[in-house]
Structure 1
Amino acid sequence: MTTTKNIAELARELGRATGEMRMYLRQYLDMQIRLEEVDITFELLEILAYLYRKDGVNQQELADITAKDKSSMTYLIDSLVKREMVTRKEDPQDRRSKLIYLTVKGKRLEKKLGPWIVEIYEKATEGLTTAEVQQALLIVQKMNDNLRK
């Protein structure tokens, strides 16, 4: 006997599945980090991955994109600065704000990390079309927008 689920039940399952996917991504990347003995954590990798796409952003943008609060983001960036992977520079538009830039060491790490990230997302999307992934992304983004209101 098949029961039809209402939209709230389906949304709950989607949220759980999204969280589960994040857990699997984290487990895979944590394993790769340990195997390759890279001095990085999953949280730091999230920040670096964003900076690889868009270097020179302020801490608030990084906090928003990684869903971290300001104090956690400060701690994480301090950790990346200590590892000499990023540097803080004064924002020419707002002297109170600091922009976060990759250092040469941080950029070099992308060559090692990039293939791992591509590999895991290729594995995650096996058997899916680009249109399916785009549709899923649009749905999750719309749900997030609804929750932000």
Structure 2
Amino acid sequence: MTELPPGFFDASTPPEDTTAEVLERQELQVATRGLEAALGRVAEHVARAREEEVRDGLDESTRHLLDRLTGDPEASLDRRSLHDRVAAGRITWEQVWTDPGAEAGGRALVLDVVQQQTVDAAAARLRFAEVEAAEADVRPE
């Protein structure tokens, strides 16, 4: 192959990357930056929520649900153990809630609480909709 003078391009050799490959890499970089930014926002939100939970403590309904799910005589041993340790003051529900991985069965317990809260919220939403529908039927036109 002969050496070309400066400023000339040898069109007989293909470029290193095709335009499609370059665009694909750029799209991946843009998507990655967007996902990283979104994950950063999620991490900030989670951190703020945890700070609020630590500062404000658990609401009474969450405490009641934790107590009910762990105090049931049919509950698993790890749940009954949590219940007994909270009752004895060796651990708090706030500690279990903010760091569920530190306790055996803690993550599953927190997920069960959240699931029950979701079911309860859906039932409340349905009751509100029923009341609104009944009120709409009674209103004079």
User: TM-score normalised to the size of structure 1?
Assistant: 0.29
Greater RCO between the two (CA within 8 Å, min separation 6)? 1
Higher strand share: 1
Larger radius of gyration: 2
User: TM-score normalised to the size of structure 2?
Assistant: 0.30
